[in-house]
Chain A
Amino acid sequence: MTNLLDIENLRVRFPTRQGHFDAVRGISFSLRRERLGIVGESGSGKSMTGRAILKLIRKPGQITADRMQMGDTDLLTASDKQMRRIRGRHASMIMQDPKFSLNPVMTVGQQITEALRTHERISRRDAHARAIKMLDAVAIRSPERVMDLYPHEVSGGMGQRIMIAMMLIPDPEILIADEPTSALDVSVQLQVLGILDKLVTDRGMGLIFISHDLNLVSNFCDRILIMYAGRVVEVCQAGRLHEATHPYTRGLLNSVPDLEHPRPRLDVLKRDPAWAEAPSVSALT
């Protein structure tokens, strides 16, 4: 099976007044038609990794890598124009909070059809019909009505589903979901994940699922990268997360309060400076 994405030795660097800061420090991974989870604390570089794949790092941030290959395209040498064609058509990204990532002055319908009309020659009417079908696929009741609503008129869970619809409508091969459900309630979270799971499976897409929630990722993904301080410290199969050996992964697992297995005190992570210095584990396949 061919890889959808190959990344080797990726670095994201930001110059600061005190020299430079590396948010991502030389990580390598590949993505097949699978669900790949990236987990870590805030500041571990997981979101920066996701954004770097689409070259969405704002200047003065710099992306360097030995190789960044998406299908036939070499992302390292791709021009801005080529990148705009790739984003949406080949790979798209679902952001964390629909409140900040939907355009507040465009209706839901306008935003979804815009995504479609940018990438395809399609009539307004066909675009409208496809958008309605897509909203229906993300389990939005009465999609006709929702098409004419503005983002502030929909709930958080609905906003997130609208965003998923918008990102999936150009039918990309790779979907990067950056904490797609952190802003949602548990019960809505399940519903949104269920929809995402179904669409990804049905369309045979590659999914990169970025989250801080280990248990969620272990239930939802096939393979997991655990990031710490800009590096990958451990790679494991999702079903085997509970057999993970790295002390950082163990620490994260043990610090989560478990409803069914109560403990009087939660374990607190003891950070070892060596974790940040150890070379990144490769997740190439």
Chain B
Amino acid sequence: MTAIDLSDLTVWFGLGADRVDAVKSATFSVATGESFGLVGESGSGKSTVLRAIAGLIDSWSGDMRIADTPLGRRRTRAFYKQVQMVFQGPYASLHPRHTVDRVLGEVLKLHGFSDIDSRIDRLLDDVGLGKGFRFRYPHQLSGGQRQRVAIARALAPEPRIVLLDEPTSALDVSVQAEILNLLSDLRAERGLTYLMVSHDLGVIGHMCDRIAVMQHGRIVDLLGVDEMRSLQTAHPYTQHLLDSSVRAIRQP
């Protein structure tokens, strides 16, 4: 079964002469239960792919399917019950004047759950925060704790697919390790499908089974994690990225 199937996806911004194609006929599919990574430099269009799937951009053409259901212009509530997204900046993605309780409660209410109270406690336990954090505001949390709340919010509707947009790039390496372990555990427990964007090849190599490399809006290479780890690839751009992130910096 395929969880996400994109074919010939083009996403653009601006009209007429100002039109910029941020993603150019991207085609890939992600199997159910798989963890798929998108890498590339800033401006390569990797986040735009996620935002288009999540329905945050409506200027796109091509074909997008989630669990064999084609996506239209508008996303339904059923879609958001199936697909959720975790954003990059834990500082910007939580409402500064809403408590953790309200952030999670609102999502649960929107998705028609009735046992909201017990679900909030369970979600906080699942992401390793515990009940003590329930009535805190974002400014009373550290960056890692905020990202845990953002993950709890994404998990609230019990989605099958989670879109992760640079979930750890704003965090320290020690906190990054905690969040990556949490994401691995949650995927194993719930059989989730991840589509993850990162510019850090180390993170992608740790988390993903298959990787697509993007450059200037195009997918230029698709490879398995083993090929990536052995630093073997036919494509010069992928090789360049691998070299940059692995090889020593100082010239001998």
Contact between A194 and B249 (Cβ–Cβ < 8 Å)?
A: yes
Contact between B228 and A259 (Cβ–Cβ < 8 Å)?
A: yes
Contact between B249 and A187 (Cβ–Cβ < 8 Å)?
A: no
- The reply to whether the CB of B176 lies closer than 8 angstroms to some CB of chain A is yes
Residue of B nearest to A257 (CB): B206
- The reply to whether the CB of A126 lies closer than 8 angstroms to some CB of chain B is no
Query: A13-21, A102-110, A260-268: which one contacts chain B?
Result: A260-268
Q: Given A255-B176, A260-B229, A260-B231, are A265 and B251 also a contact pair (CB < 8 Å)?
A: no
B251 — which chain A residues lie within 8 A by C-beta? Answer: 194
- The reply to whether the CB of A112 lies closer than 8 angstroms to some CB of chain B is no
A253 CB to closest chain B CB, in angstroms? Answer: 9
A241 to B157, CA, bound (A): 45
- The reply to whether the CB of B173 lies closer than 8 angstroms to some CB of chain A is yes
Contact between A188 and B41 (Cβ–Cβ < 8 Å)?
A: yes
- The reply to whether the CB of B241 lies closer than 8 angstroms to some CB of chain A is yes
A266 — which chain B residues lie within 8 A by C-beta? Answer: 177, 180-181, 206
- The reply to whether the CB of A41 lies closer than 8 angstroms to some CB of chain B is yes
B74 — which chain A residues lie within 8 A by C-beta? Answer: none
A252 to B249, CA, bound (A): 20
Contact between A212 and B172 (Cβ–Cβ < 8 Å)?
A: yes
- The reply to whether the CB of B174 lies closer than 8 angstroms to some CB of chain A is yes
Residue of B nearest to A41 (CB): B172
A114 to B225, CA, bound (A): 50
Total chain A interface residues with beta-carbon distance under 8 A: 33
A262 — which chain B residues lie within 8 A by C-beta? Answer: 205-206, 225, 229
Contact between A259 and B173 (Cβ–Cβ < 8 Å)?
A: no
Contact between A186 and B173 (Cβ–Cβ < 8 Å)?
A: no
- Interface hits, B153-204 → A, CB 8 Å: 172-178, 180-181, 184, 199-203
Cβ contacts B222-248/A at 8 Å (1 or 0 each): 000100110100000000111011101
A263 to B174, CA, bound (A): 15
B33 — which chain A residues lie within 8 A by C-beta? Answer: none
A189 to B229, CA, bound (A): 21
- The reply to whether the CB of A190 lies closer than 8 angstroms to some CB of chain B is yes
Contact between B206 and A255 (Cβ–Cβ < 8 Å)?
A: no
B200 CB to closest chain A CB, in angstroms? Answer: 8
- Interface hits, B108-153 → A, CB 8 Å: 143
State the main secondary structure of chain A at its contact with B: loop
A190 to B242, CA, bound (A): 12
Query: A58-66, A213-221, A274-282: which one contacts chain B?
Result: A213-221
Which of B202, B229, B242: most chain A CB closer than 10 A?
B202
A194 — which chain B residues lie within 8 A by C-beta? Answer: 249, 251
Contact between A185 and B42 (Cβ–Cβ < 8 Å)?
A: yes
A259 — which chain B residues lie within 8 A by C-beta? Answer: 201-202, 205, 228-229, 231, 242, 245-246
Q: Given A219-B250, A262-B205, are A251 and B229 also a contact pair (CB < 8 Å)?
A: no
- Interface hits, A200-220 → B, CB 8 Å: 212-214, 216, 219-220
Q: Given A190-B249, A257-B203, A257-B205, are A268 and B244 also a contact pair (CB < 8 Å)?
A: no
- The reply to whether the CB of A197 lies closer than 8 angstroms to some CB of chain B is yes
Residue of B nearest to A251 (CB): B174
A266 CB to closest chain B CB, in angstroms? Answer: 4
Contact between B244 and A265 (Cβ–Cβ < 8 Å)?
A: no
- The reply to whether the CB of A269 lies closer than 8 angstroms to some CB of chain B is yes
- The reply to whether the CB of A256 lies closer than 8 angstroms to some CB of chain B is yes
Partner of B202, one of A212, A257, A265: A257
A98 CB to closest chain B CB, in angstroms? Answer: 13
- The reply to whether the CB of A258 lies closer than 8 angstroms to some CB of chain B is yes
B131 CB to closest chain A CB, in angstroms? Answer: 22
B151 CB to closest chain A CB, in angstroms? Answer: 16
A36 CB to closest chain B CB, in angstroms? Answer: 15
Residue of B nearest to A193 (CB): B249
Residue of B nearest to A261 (CB): B229
B173 — which chain A residues lie within 8 A by C-beta? Answer: 41, 212-214, 252, 255-256
Contact between B41 and A185 (Cβ–Cβ < 8 Å)?
A: yes
Contact between B244 and A190 (Cβ–Cβ < 8 Å)?
A: yes
A258 to B231, CA, bound (A): 12
List the interface of chain A (C-beta within 8 A of B): 41-42, 156, 185-190, 193-194, 197, 212-214, 216, 219-220, 251-252, 255-260, 262-263, 265-269
**Can you list 29 residue pairs at the A/B interface with Cβ under 8 Å?**
A41-B175, A185-B42, A186-B200, A186-B201, A186-B241, A187-B41, A187-B240, A187-B241, A190-B249, A212-B172, A214-B173, A219-B249, A220-B249, A220-B250, A255-B177, A256-B177, A257-B200, A257-B203, A257-B206, A259-B201, A259-B229, A259-B242, A262-B205, A262-B225, A262-B229, A263-B206, A265-B181, A265-B184, A266-B206
Those 4 A-B pairs whose CB atoms lie nearest each other, nearest first: A255-B177, A257-B206, A266-B177, A185-B41
